[in-house]
Every structure is written in C-alpha cells, then in structure tokens.
A = this chain, B = another copy of it.
C-alpha cells in the first residue's frame, strides 16, 4: 500500500541544477533592466509592503545586515525605493518601493516568468498544475519551517531555529 515503485532521484539532485539554470536565465533579464539579483530581491520584498528598519529587511530576505547597504544605495539613487529617516527615531530608515520601482519590478518579473513558461510548457497540464501547487505550498514555508520539516518531520512543535549542521567530514 506504500505504492512507491520506481526509484526516484534525490530532490536536491534535480532541483540544484534546475535552480542554477533558472538563476542563470534570470541574470540577463536583470542586467537588461539595470538590476542585480539582490536589488530585485529587495524590490520584491518591499513590494509586499514597507519595512521599518534595514535590519528587518535584511532578515526578511536572509541577507546580511551590512550587505544590503550598497544595494539600497543604488536602488535609492535610481529612484526605485524611498529610504527616509523615521521622524520618530532618526536612527532607523523607513524603506518603501516607489511607483517607478513597482513598474520596474513588474517588468523584470514579466521577463523572468516569460522564460520560465518555456520550461513549464514541457509538462503535461495536469503535472504542471501539481508542480505549481506544490511550489505554492513550499513558498509559504519559512526557512526554519523547511528545515524542521525535513530534519524531524515534527510539525511546528520542535525548536525551529536551534539546530544547525556545519560538520563536513571526509571519507
């Protein structure tokens, strides 16, 4: 009743080259619109709503706090985001996407997804549906939820941010 017949490849063995190809395909589109990957990631994050501090934004996109600074500099200089000191606390910068940033982001995403459609077109309609629905499920999980699900199968009861690997021994 387990019903798993043919051996399947490891998920990462398929997804890693696939993801790499997807990223490689994104880069020319981003470059054509004068954006870096991090710039695009920031625009996507801010498109979901303004963010109060740069540290919060960094955590939201899993980036280092000190690393996004130059990205923000460039996005601001290009008029794609606004970055004003909070009047109530002049240490923090209020971050938001501008209308120009929104349309730029939409244009880039259209280009990226147009490419991706060629890949999805390889699938029969039913599988494409299932694939995309699966991705929507996984897109809704945080990094910690992904990890804890994978490592224990315990659903939201474990310690999500505790365990980390790190050891890399040799044979």
What's the number of copies of this chain in the assembled complex? 2
When the two chains form their complex, are residues B146 and A21 in contact, meaning their CB atoms are under 8 A apart?
Answer: yes
Chief secondary structure at chain A's binding surface: helix
CA distance A78 to B119 in the complex (A): 41
Are B134 and A123 in touch, CB under 8 angstroms? yes
Q: How large is the interface on A (under 10, 10 to 19, 20 to 34, 35 or more residues)?
A: 35 or more
Using a CB-CB cutoff of 8 Å, which residues 1-28 of chain A contact chain B?
Answer: 8-28
Which of A's residues lie within 8 Å of B, judged by CB?
Answer: 8-28, 31, 34-36, 39, 41, 44, 62, 74-75, 77-78, 80, 109, 112-113, 115-116, 118-119, 121-123, 126-139, 143, 146-147, 149-153, 165, 167-171
8 contacts between A and B (CB under 8 A): A8-B132, A14-B138, A25-B151, A74-B171, A78-B171, A127-B129, A128-B134, A131-B134
